[in-house]
Amino acid sequence: METIQKIKGTHDILPDTSGDWRLLEKTIHRIMQRYGFQEIRTPIFEATNLFARGIGQLTDIVSKEMYTFEDRGKKSLTLKPEGTAPVIRAFIENSLGEKRPINKLYYISPMFRQENPQAGRFRQFHQFGAELIGSPEPFADVETILNVLDIYKSLGLSSFTIKLNSVGDENCREQYKNALRDYLRPRLSKLCKTCQERFESNPMRVFDCKEAGCIAETEAAPRMLDHLDQASADHFEKVCALLDQHQVAYELDYRLVRGLDYYTRTAYEVVSNALGSQNALGGGGRYDLLTQELGGKPTPAVGYAAGIERLLMVLREEKLLTDNSLSLDVFIASIGEKAQEWASKTARLLRDNEISADMDLLGRSLKAQMKEANRSNAKFALIVGEQELESGQLTLRNLQQSEQTEVNSADLVGAIRKHLDAKFK
RNA sequence: GUGGGCGUAGCUCAGCUUGGUAGAGCACCAGAUUGUGGCUCUGGUGGUCGCGGGUUCAAAUCCCGUCGCUCACCCCA
């Protein structure tokens, strides 16, 4: 029989690593709460238009990476490739902006992009992200940066760099693009093919290119930072000043142009020093025009998205993940059918009392059951056979210290709890 | 979409150059220990060598095709 394999670029998270995910998610929830961000969960798929309009028709994501399909009613749906557009859609649809002037929302969610997988890049991957909706102030930009850094810090991570740039806004970007085009036009033939295509549609993306020729040609090109209008310049200056006050180290990177069209003013990226080719841990920025682009009232907003798989890769690399596997309190090893029945009843009793318990389900030898107890990472083995059933005196073995004592079956829960508290708390 | 590397036991891999009965470590099972795990020792289970075709007396090994995985490019998380 032919076996069925997982879809390319997807992964099973097995019990030996799901504990790492739990730790990460727990940390994210904790820090988000500490910052006043509230969780939002949006559907896994959306109307295709949401992304086409929100992210931008010409972006790589929309033009070649989306999982788009028709449902039975011929409606075009898309598995979400990123989190911001759905959050803003929900923000508008549920009139969250009418209920309070500021909404601080966060999510943890799978995302889908149909790219060729490689180290740190998958077709289904997971992001956590925060969106601060309603404030145009630099304080808001900084709030999101501090938030993501705090999550990394809480996990012990320190090997990363923050890159910062401003991509301007509607009042100065078009003017700048024209200045950039004027500079690039005579050098067009020296640029790579994709950059020649970018020249008309989105010349700023030329800075993103890694071709040596394109890098060289844009070295002396006019930079957005020098062409900001007063308001955007002030905004950027304030963001930098606040980061300085918070003693957050960052690098100005005039080449940082993020791949999504909706960014305005602040753009930032957190880059790992410990990853391979795909080294962006997270990125974000301000997107003051997105809400109206999606049909809502003009509402300023800023936020970021960060990759969970890449974060796990770095944490693994830096040896910052300790053993997060769950352990069992008690494994009941029984000898004989009567004892096995007793084990079943007792396991239930213990579980009713918040003590995790497991038992043999294969009728194995005591030795094999002890081995199983060890494999389950159990703290105690409770051994019961004919003798114990008659006397009511059971053997409780501490598997980590290899010591055992007798406990009375009359107050089993109390006795086990006492031993758990004494040795494991 | 394009290029490189790799597909042999549940896992990590050796064997391929120079064709000749398919191996190791770990894991799993059992025994040493007749009712006690982890350590040690002994034994055991487990493989149409990714799949299809070709060359050959003979193919894991050589040739062709194909599928899968992986890394990289593009771009991003």
Closest C1' nucleotide to A111's CA: B77
Which contiguous run of DSSP H or E holds residue A264? strand A264-272
Report the mean per-residue pLDDT for chain A.
93
Q: Which CATH class is domain A15-172+228-317?
A: alpha beta
Identify whether the C-beta of residue A402 lies closer than 8 Å to the C-beta of residue A374.
no
| Interval A160-170 mean pLDDT | 93
- pLDDT for the residue A197: 81
d(C-alpha A40, C-alpha A109), whole Å: 10
Q: Which CATH architecture best describes the domain A330-420?
A: 3-Layer(aba) Sandwich (3.40)
Closest C1' nucleotide to A208's CA: B75
A191 touches strand B (CB under 7 A): no
Q: Give Cβ neighbours of residue A371 (< 8 Å, ≥ 6 apart).
A: none
Residue A125 has pLDDT above 80, yes or no: yes
A55 touches strand B (CB under 7 A): no
Residue A237 has pLDDT above 80, yes or no: yes
ipTM score for this prediction: 0.90
Q: Where are the domains of chain A?
A: 15-172+228-317, 330-420
In chain A, % of residues over pLDDT 90 = 77
- pLDDT for the residue A1: 62
Strand order through the sheet with A301-307: A38-39, A103-112, A124-133, A301-307, A280-286, A264-272, A160-166, A251-252
What tens digit of pLDDT does each residue of A342-377 get? 999 999 999 999 999 999 999 999 999 999 999 999
d(C-alpha A359, C-alpha A363), whole Å: 10
Using alpha carbons, select from A371, A367, A361 the residue that is nearest to residue A340: A361
On strand B, nucleotides with any atom < 7 Å from a protein CB are 1-3, 28-31, 33, 35-38, 68-77
